[in-house]
Amino acid sequence: MIINRFILKIAVNTRLLLSGRLEGIGWFTYQNLRRIVRDHPEVKFYFLFDRPFGEEFVFGSNVEPVVLFPPARHPFLYYLYFEWSVARVLKRLNPDLFLSPDGFLSSRYHGNQLPVFHDLNFMHNPGFVPRLTGKFYNYYFPKYAAIARRIVTVSEFSRQDIARVFDYPENRIDVVYNGAHEIFAPADQLMIKNARKLLTGGAPYFVYIGALHKRKNIGNMLRAFEHFRGHDPAGHKLLIVGAPMFNSPDLEKAYRGLKYKEDVIFAGRQYNESLSQIVSAASALILVSHFEGFGIPVIEAMQCDVPVIASNVTSLPEVAGDAALLVDPDSVDQIALAMTRISSEPLLREHLIEKGRIQRQKFSWDKTAALLWDSVEKCL
């Protein structure tokens, strides 16, 4: 007689687990699921992919991958995938819970569903996403909120925003902070020297990490760097790490107008050890976004003992605490002044690093995974 060793069945939306292409929500999915699967062998997990998957994402013998059709990368395909393919497989599997780390649910499925809403940028800034994508989000995410048993989000800022915008009870929204990959760590002076020689010919540099997207305010960052660079005796470079997301005419216009464009280096996507080396050798991280649900690079920089320049809006003051220079993202002068202070005031830089060592202790993927599982248990 075969005895079923599983006491729960949980289906998970894993469409953003893409080999070699993990972005912010993909990393959130990866870091949490590999811990939860490991810690809960009594649970059978069904990972729902929208294309052939990498074996590295099957985190244990209690995971059964399921490939659905079509690949969901466009609003029309979102509809077919979540409203038909996902709904059909959930009805067949009859799981105790459907967990969706990227927030998408299926309004045609009437079972227990738990989404992670990372932020509501698309509702506050419709111009920051393509028109059809924005229309889909604005139509379906209120529906998802209405059918969700609970909602998980990644900051207190987003929790209050979700409660207000969707008129959703705050006591059913759980804050689950992001973490930073354990590979991010301080570098010694030799490592910093070698990394700078490889990346910038030995020059010090500021680093930005993230998508090349209008929401990230890269245009103002470039204009601020231009202003700063004109009176910078150290000859800093600006290293931009990330891949394009949507079109960004503002970025192209700002870059074309730079006098010091040869000092701006586009490094493309970088991962793991390479990204850790880039961050740890930087003079500071710059993240002056107009809107962030969390801002993982802030924590990654703190893990590397690198100071941070961040926006004073949305979730960034909450995540950075008193361990960053906070600036108005619309003020080129404030961003440029922060660069000047970081480069010319060593005592300030050391102060921010010390504060960062304290602030970073609030965040880890182990804590995140434990809190996410707490939300799962509340739903069950």
User: Per-residue pLDDT tens for 324-378?
Assistant: 999 999 999 999 999 999 999 999 999 999 999 999 999 999 999 999 999 999 9
User: What pLDDT is stored for residue 245 in this prediction?
Assistant: 56
User: What pLDDT is stored for residue 2 in this prediction?
Assistant: 43
User: What pLDDT is stored for residue 1 in this prediction?
Assistant: 36
Q: What is the DSSP letter of 133?
A: H
Retrieve residue 278's tokens.
Answer: 């880039």
Retrieve residue 174's tokens.
Answer: 């759980």
Positions of the chain with pLDDT lower than 50, given as ranges = 1-3
Retrieve residue 240's tokens.
Answer: 């931009």
User: What pLDDT is stored for residue 127 in this prediction?
Assistant: 86
How many CA atoms lie within 13 Å of 43's alpha carbon, on the beta-carbon side? 23
Among 236, 298, 289, smallest CA distance to 265 is for 236
Rounded-to-10 torsion of CA 200, 206, 210, 216: -130
User: What pLDDT is stored for residue 242 in this prediction?
Assistant: 87
Among 220, 180, 228, smallest CA distance to 204 is for 228
Condensed to tens digits (0 to 9), the pLDDT of residues 24-58 reads 899 999 999 999 999 999 999 999 999 999 999 99
User: What pLDDT is stored for residue 73 in this prediction?
Assistant: 86
Q: Which CATH code for domain 189-362?
A: 3.40.50.2000
- Residue ranges matching CATH 3.40.50.2000 in the chain: 8-179+364-379, 189-362
> Where do the DSSP E strands lie in the chain?
8-13, 43-49, 63-67, 97-100, 113-115, 151-153, 173-175, 205-209, 237-241, 264-268, 284-287, 308-311, 324-327
Residue 57 and residue 132: Cα distance in Å, rounded?
Answer: 31
Report pTM.
Answer: 0.92
Superfamily for the 8-179+364-379 domain: Glycogen Phosphorylase B; (3.40.50.2000)
Single-letter amino acid code for the residue at 88: R
Query: What is the widest separation between alpha-carbon atoms in the chain?
Result: 78
Q: How far is CA 319 from CA 137, 193, 323, 325, in A?
A: 26, 29, 9, 12
